[in-house]
Structures are given as C-alpha cells and as structure tokens.
C-alpha cells in the first residue's frame, strides 16, 4: 500500500466523486486568498463551486484512480493530489512517468507543509509503480512562487507554455 503518512492530525486517503463538493470549497478558499494577495491570474477570481465546467472537471478528477485527499479526523478536506497521465497541453512524455495533474492545499495553518508531503507521496507512488520520472505543470505568472515551490521539491524547469493567455511552466523530476 503506502508508507506512513507523516502529518499528525491529518489523514491521507483515496478520493472519490463524493469529495468533489469539499474540493470545490477548497478551491474557493484558495481563490479568495489569491484575490486578497492580488493574484487573479492563476485560477481566476470567481468561486469554482459556481462554475459548471469547473464542477465537472473537479468531479472527474476526484474519480481518477490517482486521486487522493487529505482531511482532518472530523472529515474537513485540507488538500488534494491527483496523479495520472500528462495534461493535453504539454508535450507528451518520452519515457514512463507519473504526472502531477493537481495539487491544492488549504490556507489553514494546520495544513502547513501538506503540499510538500504530498509531493513526497507522489515520489513514493512513482517508486512503487517502478517509474523513475515525474512531471508537473503550474502557473508561471505572478511572483513565480509556485515554480519555486516545485523546484524546492526537486523539480527542474523543462519548458514554458501558454494556454489561452495563461502562462505555464512544465517541470520534471527524476528519482
């Protein structure tokens, strides 16, 4: 199965479609934080829970076999990670890989550090699958903090891209 989850007080488990409303709420929380800090470019300014296309995409993501959530013992969602195939807007893989399709974490202080723990969990999942490469893409605008976060997790910049005016950065990591 998986190694020990290192974050006391938080539980890591597989996601399901039933988690979609809570995950949409988490996106809404993060989007409100982005608005407060003047970063409307990453995911927009409107709550995802009010957008049918976003609701559909989040529900689909929760149903993927590589979807995981982190919650409190009481069931409050604090983070999500979705692993799987590369996104269609990046170059196809040239070797076997696991792609980090989604990583999002609550701004709640109790969830501090959960993103790095989930990225280490992605490494563990790749090792268990016998895969030595991971890729991820992220928003390349704003202050560049998100790119630096992935670099702090051992990823290196591969290429930049743009999707309908959204600046992206593709990063990769070899285990």
Helix H, strand E, coil C: the string for the chain is CCCCCCCCCCEEEECCHHHHHHHHHHHHHHHHHHHHCCCCCCCCCCCHHHCHHHHHHHHHHHCCCCEEEEECCCCCEEEEEEEECCCCCCCCCCCCCEEEEEEEECCCHHHCCHHHHHHHHHHHHHHHCCCCEEEEEEECCCCCHHHHHHHHCCCEEEEEEEECCEEEEEEEEEC
How does the average pLDDT of the chain come out, rounded? 93
pLDDT digits (tens, 9 = 90+) for 24-79: 999 999 999 888 887 888 888 899 999 999 999 999 999 999 999 999 999 999 99
Which structural domains are found in the chain, ordered by start? 11-131 (3.40.630.30)
pTM of the model: 0.93
Confidence band (pLDDT; 50, 70, 90) for 1?
very low
Condensed to tens digits (0 to 9), the pLDDT of residues 114-155 reads 999 999 999 999 999 999 999 999 999 988 999 999 999 999
């Amino acid at each position: 199965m998986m190694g020990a989850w290192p974050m006391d007080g938080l539980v890591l488990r597989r996601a399901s479609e039933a988690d979609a409303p809570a995950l949409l709420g988490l996106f809404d929380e993060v989007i409100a934080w982005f608005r407060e800090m003047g970063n409307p470019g990453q995911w927009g300014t409107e709550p995802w829970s009010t957008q049918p296309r976003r609701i559909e995409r989040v529900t689909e993501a929760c149903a993927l076999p590589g979807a995981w959530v982190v919650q409190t013992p009481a069931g409050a969602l604090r983070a999500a990670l979705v692993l799987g195939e590369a996104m269609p807007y990046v170059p196809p893989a040239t070797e076997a890989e696991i792609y980090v399709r989604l990583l999002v974490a609550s701004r709640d202080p109790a969830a501090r550090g959960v993103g790095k723990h989930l990225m280490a969990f992605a490494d563990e999942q790749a090792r268990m699958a016998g895969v030595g490469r991971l890729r991820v893409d992220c928003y390349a605008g704003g202050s560049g903090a998100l790119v630096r976060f992935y670099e702090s997790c051992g990823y290196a910049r591969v290429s930049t891209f743009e999707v309908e005016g959204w600046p992206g950065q593709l990063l990769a990591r070899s285990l």
